[in-house]
Amino acid sequence: MKTEERTYFIRTFGCQMNEHDSERLAGMLEAEGYTPASSTEDASVVLFNTCCIRENADTRLYGNLGHVKSIKDRQPGKKIVVAGCLAQKDRSLIQRKAPYVDVVLGTHNLSSLPRLLRDSEAGPSFEILEQTETFPSALPTRRNSPWHAWVSISIGCNNSCTFCIVPAVRGREESRRMGDIVSEVERLLDDGVVEVTLLGQNVNSYGRDLDGTPMFARLLYALDDVEGLMRVRFTSPHPKDFRADSVRAMAECGVVCEHIHLPVQSGSDRLLKRMKRSYTQGRYLDKVRMVRDAIPDVAITTDIIVGFPGETEADFAQTMALVSEVRYDGAYTFQYSPRPMTAAADMPDHLPKEVVQERYERLAALQDEIAIERNARHLGETEELLVEGISKKDPGRLTGRTRTNKLVHFPDDGATEGTFRNVLITATHPHHLEGESVDAPVETVPAASTSRMSLPLVATTATSGCSSCS
């Protein structure tokens, strides 16, 4: 690193919300004249955008900080920044545990980054606020992808699921005006974006704080009318708020992809109550039936927590039964991790690690079997793919995603990322498919914004394929 250079490297932990916040942080740094560096070693500013949803996220941050500290010892001009959920949760603890950190900012004041960096010339500069001051959409953005964009429709969460730390670190729910969302999407299309993913902790309650009634379905119809937009995804709906009007909008809006991530967390009514999820297994299954009746080919994925305090073998059997019944296309499964500021952390009957591990493995094996069966349905079908770039594992192949969000690898035929391809599915696996392209690429993105390489400027260390909660 040359000390006079202003370069940055961002490592992101956690969910899509954090990935999007990192794009804003990168945007602000670039507006200040910083350019991206390819490693922590080369960067004059190293920023960790943190997650605190499970305990291992904490541990990993402090491991990473220790490593950068050893580089900073050799490069004293280097600035270390910690932002995001863990900073919001740990506040002064970071200062005590890692006094060499130059800047700490929380989830509510992303926009303070340039000022805090300037202030840090005089000494460590820490600022955590209790409420969001500027809706992050007003900030500049350095998108990781020319053809895909995250679009935040709301921030915060008004629920109180007893395992979840998000409300404590992200605050009350606040929706963005629909007109602002639609205008942002229109601007993104002018930039070459073809697919957007709408982000909110609970997308189905979108608009309740604006108009008194949820407006998510109306938002989907409004986006369906935006000319040139090819795909809309969203994450995540809360099952309790996922209603017929949203399902109808999904079915009627051609732009909305046939995939829904519907986090169930547990199949046991007793545990769902202890988790304060406000639905039963029966009501959840009604929602699944409602989506499948309206959109027969829909892919359904979920989040499940194993080993919530007090989970008995009978409770776990209910989760296994639910998974067998729904037949998910994919599931993110998590071992319960006690979090400070959550009600479950103080509940009695925390389970021994070995019991949780054994149940976790049983659930993963069942879900893998189901995913194999679900993916096998696509064998011999022709699927429309949005090409994402060169495969990370095999440089001779490209990867793309179906509308149902399945990852497909196919031989490199010269297609550029951000364009569409029809691909015949020739082999299926639990977590991806293989295929062969059957037509010429359909160019939908202006040539200037396509490329043959996808090198994200913001490194992501997803704690799993972690979804936003709900």
144 binds ligand SF4 (CB under 6 A): no
65 binds ligand SF4 (CB under 6 A): no
Q: Which residue has the tokens 């196919």?
A: 410
Residue of 233, 189, 183 whose CA lies nearest to 403: 233
- Could you tell me if 404 and 456 are in contact, meaning their C-beta atoms sit under 8 angstroms apart? no
| Spatial separation of the C-alpha atoms in residues 418 and 394, rounded to whole Å | 19
Closer residue to ligand SF4, CB minimum distance, 81 or 469? 469
Pick the piece of the chain touching ligand 5AD (CB under 6 A) from 103-111, 210-218, 271-279, 334-342: 334-342
**Contacting residue, 57, 223, 260, 469, with ligand 5AD by CB under 6 A:** 469
Q: How far is the CB of 329 from ligand 5AD (least distance, A)?
A: 16
**Contacting residue, 1, 103, 305, 458, with ligand 5AD by CB under 6 A:** 305
154 binds ligand SF4 (CB under 6 A): no
316 binds ligand 5AD (CB under 6 A): no
337 binds ligand 5AD (CB under 6 A): yes
295 binds ligand SF4 (CB under 6 A): no
Q: How far is the CB of 56 from ligand 5AD (least distance, A)?
A: 10
Residue 328 interacts with, from ligand SF4, ligand 5AD, none (CB under 5-8 Å by kind): none
82 binds ligand 5AD (CB under 6 A): no
Residue 157 interacts with, from ligand SF4, ligand 5AD, none (CB under 5-8 Å by kind): ligand SF4
302 phi/psi in degrees, rounded to 5: -155, 170
Q: Which residue has the tokens 């002064």?
A: 92
Pick the piece of the chain touching ligand SF4 (CB under 6 A) from 34-42, 161-169, 376-384, 426-434: 161-169
Residue of 434, 430, 425 whose CA lies nearest to 393: 434
Residue 233 interacts with, from ligand 5AD, ligand SF4, none (CB under 5-8 Å by kind): none
**Contacting residue, 1, 17, 53, 198, with ligand 5AD by CB under 6 A:** 53
Residue 279 interacts with, from ligand 5AD, ligand SF4, none (CB under 5-8 Å by kind): none
The total of other beta-carbon atoms located within 10 Å of residue 333's CB is 18
Residue of 278, 150, 275, 156 whose CA lies nearest to 206: 156
**Contacting residue, 336, 360, 410, 420, with ligand 5AD by CB under 6 A:** 336
408 phi/psi in degrees, rounded to 5: -125, 130
Residues that bind ligand SF4 (CB under 6 A): 157, 159, 161, 164, 166-167, 201-202, 238, 469-470
